[in-house]
Amino acid sequence: MADEEQSPSRLAEVRAARIEKVARLRELGVDPYPSTFGERQEIAWAREQPEESGVRIAGRLVLWRRHGGSTFANLRDQSGQIQIQLRKDVVGEGKYELVKLLEVGDFIGVSGPLFTTRTGELTVKVEEFSVLTKTLRPLPEKWHGLTDPETRVRKRHLAYIADPEEMRNVATRATFIRSIRSFLEERDFIEVATPVLESIPGGADAEPFTTHHNALGRDFYLRISLELPHKRLIVGGFERVYEVGRVFRNEGIGREHLQDYDLLEFYWAYADLDALKQLVQQFYASVIESTFGSLKLTYGDDVLDFTPPWPELDYFELFRGIGIDLDAHPTAEALLPVARERVGDEAKPGLGRGRLIDMIYKREIRPTLIQPQLLTGHPVDISPLAKRDPQHEGRVQRIQVLMAGSEVGNGFAELNDPLDQRARFEEQQRLREAGDREAQMLDEEFLEALEYGMPPTAGFGVSIERWLMYLTNSPTIRDVVAFPLVRPPSD
RNA sequence: GGGCCCGUAGCUCAGCGGUAGAGCAGCGGACUUUUAAUCCGAUGGUCGCGGGUUCGAUCCCCGCCGGGCCCCCCA
């Protein structure tokens, strides 16, 4: 890191002093970076042992209080933290010289019996210790920690050191995904893997990233959803498939939006919308209960209650609730004045009716939907891949899961009429040509597959990160991923 | 894309026209039961970058870069 070494700062001095300590350790015959400490116990386990038990633990020094011939320090591993005491008369005068070369941040291994200090703190009386890793850079300040949001994201390792609690989100995510898999596996869904690079990105309204394939000499898109390949698997004869896969959307950064995230999708042949509604509620209840141990979780000022059955809301009813009869505005032109009144200039002429409806919904309705519930009866205009509802002209058989004013799950009876699907894609193409960059692209290969026949199928998708953000009461979605995208440092 | 705010030591923060400050960490010293240990001492800065105004700019103005929040939007 040449740029670091040029820096004439305090950091450079600290770093030089620590490199000097590395050299002094070597002069004393101590390897500052040994390969192993051998067997060790977890600190959390050690804390459970009775007094006088011998323990052997390792970790990072996080606090350091030297006073003459005795030094107290706090040692932390992934499981927890414990105080240790290093005494000159216990470890020996020669070995105690090494203590002077240690500092906060270093990894050491220690062994010795447990005792309780006069102030009541469980402590390891260190008889033997070894340096495991000497650190060169100072840790964030011990009391205030690391507060700068930029550094917290760019140097996530420091954020975890400063706030070990945050590591929990990583573990929670692992448990959560395991629960998801086992719920679906128990119901005979097969986990599949579909391509990340696509000729035509489909299955969602989103702008894609592009990349280049050298050998084929052409550009590809990174997928924005998993939907179309999964449906081709259903065409091929699979009846229950699912995937947890990374998707990429070339769009804005915000508290609810990442550029790459894990999407869960599953497709279930011969199931209708009613069956999907039942399964989705069971699914959410099951994975939330097994991950968090409760169906009532706090988000912000609200307690979200996931106990089924959830209320069901009708899309058109909600619009009537805010004084808009969508049936009375059957075209984009007819709806435009209403939309402008509600959302202002953002509602531009040329946008499709679906996009206008969606804008009003997102502005006026969705933020009021706090408790987990199912939204149904969406207009066909905003659902180009969903089957029409034979009971309601202009509407589709679709559900969205709403919680905390946000969309956390989306499913429908999949459109399997190939000619209708072609017509919907053609309508999307018209919208694209009119300037809607998120309108979907026509996928001829997918249409051809549909012409071979896809049985009636219910499908569902949900963003793992968005879902976890609400379940873990995280103010921003960046909190649930270790390394969200950031602008690279300029040189 | 629009509005508001922020960028000073490794970290946490003061200062806001007149020689750049503190705490933590680090360095030297004292101290064998401390808990953000304490005490003494010395050290540490291209005040995000570039222009402008001014006798003089970390401070005022303009631009740029990076970040945050709120709108907007894709889950």
Q: Which residue is nearest to nucleotide B68 (CA to C1')?
A: A149
Distance CA A427, CA A164 (A): 51
Q: What is the pLDDT of residue A8?
A: 54
A221-244 residue pLDDT tens: 999 999 999 999 999 999 999 999
More confident residue, A77 or A254: A77
- Average pLDDT, integer, range A335-346: 84
Residue A2's pLDDT band (boundaries 50, 70, 90)?
A: very low
Question: Do residues A228 and A446 lie in contact, with contact meaning Cβ atoms separated by under 8 Å?
Answer: yes
Q: Please state, for a pLDDT cut of 90, what percent of chain A lies above it.
A: 77
Q: How far is the CA of A422 from the C1' of B61 (A)?
A: 59
| Cα-only R_g, chain A | 29
Decide: residue A402, CB within 10 A, 0-12 exposed, 13-18 middle, 19+ buried. buried
pTM over 0.95? The answer is no
Neighbours of A201 (CB within 10 A): 26
CA-to-C1' distance for A386 and B51, Å?
57
Average pLDDT over residues A39-53: 97
Q: CA dist A217 to A42, A200, A211, Å?
A: 53, 16, 11
How far lies A429's CA from each of A168, A346, A491, in Å?
A: 44, 21, 41
Pairing of strands A296-299, A260-269: unpaired
Å from A256 (CA) to B3 (C1')? 20
Please give the protein residue whose CA is closest to the C1' of the nucleotide B67. Answer: A150
Q: In this structure, what are the phi and psi dihedrals at residue A467, rounded to the nearest 5 degrees?
A: -60, -50
Asked if residue A462 lies in contact with residue A409, where contact means CB atoms within 8 angstroms, the answer is: yes
CA of A23, C1' of B59: distance in angstroms: 45
Q: Are A242 and A189 in contact (CB under 8 A)?
A: yes
CA distance A377 to A93: 79
The spacing between the Cα labelled CA in A121 and the C1' in B4, in angstroms, equals 48
Question: Which nucleotide is closest, CA of A158 to its C1'?
Answer: B11
d(CA A289, CA A306): 9
More confident residue, A323 or A491: A323
Give me the CA A137–C1' B59 separation in Å, rounded. Answer: 32
Helical (H) or strand (E) element with A429? helix A418-433
Q: Which nucleotide is nearest to A207 (CA to C1')?
A: B74
Give the span between the Cα atoms of A409 and A470, in whole angstroms: 12
What does the pLDDT read at residue A490?
59
pLDDT at A10: 84
Distance of C1' in B22 from CA in A62, Å: 23
Peptide bond into A309 cis (omega under 30): yes
pLDDT tens-digit series, residues A241-282: 999 999 999 888 888 999 999 999 999 999 999 999 999 999
Find, among A339, A341, A321, the residue nearest to A331 by Cα: A339
A311 CA vs B26 C1’ separation (Å):
60
Instruction: With a cut of 90, say whether residue A87 has pLDDT above it.
Output: yes
H or E, element range at A298: strand A296-299
Question: Helix H segments across A48-199?
Answer: 88-91, 93-99, 149-154, 156-162, 167-186
The nucleotide minimizing the C1' distance to residue A247's CA is B75
End-to-end C-alpha distance for chain A, whole angstroms: 13
In our burial notation (b when 16+ CB lie closer than 10 A, e otherwise), range A255-283 reads eebbeebbbbbbbbbebebeebbebbbeb
Tens of pLDDT, residues A304-330: 999 999 999 998 899 998 889 988 888
Give the residue with minimal CA–C1' separation from B73. A252
The pLDDT value recorded for residue A354 is 81
Position A448 pLDDT exceeds 50: yes
Q: What is the nearest nucleotide to A72, using C1' and CA? A: B34
Give the residue-averaged pLDDT of A356-360: 86
pLDDT band at A110 (very low <50, low <70, confident <90, very high): very high
Concatenate the DSSP letters of all residues of A27-63 into one string.
Answer: HTT--SS-S---S---HHHHHTSPTT-EEEEEEEEEE
Cβ neighbourhood burial of A340 (10 Å; 0-12, 13-18, 19+): middle
pLDDT digits (tens, 9 = 90+) for A368-409: 899 999 999 998 988 999 999 999 988 999 999 999 999 999
Nearest residue for B45, CA–C1': A9
Query: Would you say A77 and A165 are in contact if contact means Cβ atoms under 8 Å apart?
Result: no
Task: Identify, with chain letter, the residue nearest to nucleotide B36 (CA–C1').
Answer: A143
Shortest CA to C1' contact from A347: nucleotide = B72
- A491 pLDDT higher than 70: no
Q: What is the mean pLDDT of chain A?
A: 92
Give tens-digit pLDDT for A193-215.
Answer: 999 999 999 888 888 999 999 99
Q: What is the DSSP string of A403-427?
A: ETTEEEEEEEEBP--HHHHHHHHHH
The bases of strand B with some atom under 7 A from any protein CB are 1, 9-13, 23-27, 30-38, 44-46, 65-75
Share of chain A above pLDDT 70, in %: 98
Q: How does DSSP classify residue A476?
A: S
B46 C1' – A54 CA distance, angstroms? 54
Chain segment A398-445, per-residue pLDDT in tens? 999 999 999 999 999 999 999 999 999 999 988 888 877 888 999 999
Instruction: For nucleotide B10, give the residue with the nearest CA to its C1'.
Output: A11
User: What is the pLDDT averaged over residues A354-380?
Assistant: 89
| A146 CA: nearest nucleotide by C1' | B11
User: Distance in angstroms, CA of A437 to C1' of B27?
Assistant: 60
Distance of A106 CA from B25 C1′ (whole Å): 13
pLDDT-based confidence at residue A6 (cuts at 50, 70, 90): very low
A150, with CB counted inside 10 A (0-12, 13-18, 19+), is exposed
Nearest nucleotide by C1' position to the A359 CA atom: B73
According to DSSP H, which parts of A192-243 are helical?
227-235
Give strand letter and number of the nucleotide nearest A10 (CA to C1').
Answer: B44
Antiparallel, parallel or unpaired: β A406-413 and A457-463: antiparallel
Count other C-beta atoms under 10 Å from residue A425's C-beta.
Answer: 21
Is pLDDT of A457 > 80?
Answer: yes
Q: What is the pLDDT of residue A207?
A: 87
Burial class (CB in 10 A: 0-12, 13-18, 19+), A436: middle
* CB contact at 8 A, A371 and A305: yes
Give pLDDT tens digits for A127-181. Answer: 999 999 999 999 999 999 999 999 999 999 999 999 999 999 999 999 999 999 9
Band of the pLDDT at A350, cuts 50, 70, 90?
A: confident
Gap from A148 CA to B61 C1', in Å? Answer: 28
Is the Cβ–Cβ distance between A171 and A194 less than 8 Å? no
SS3 content of chain A, % helix, strand, coil (to 5): 35, 25, 35
Banded pLDDT at A3 (limits 50, 70, 90): very low
Amino acid whose CA is nearest the C1' of B71: A363
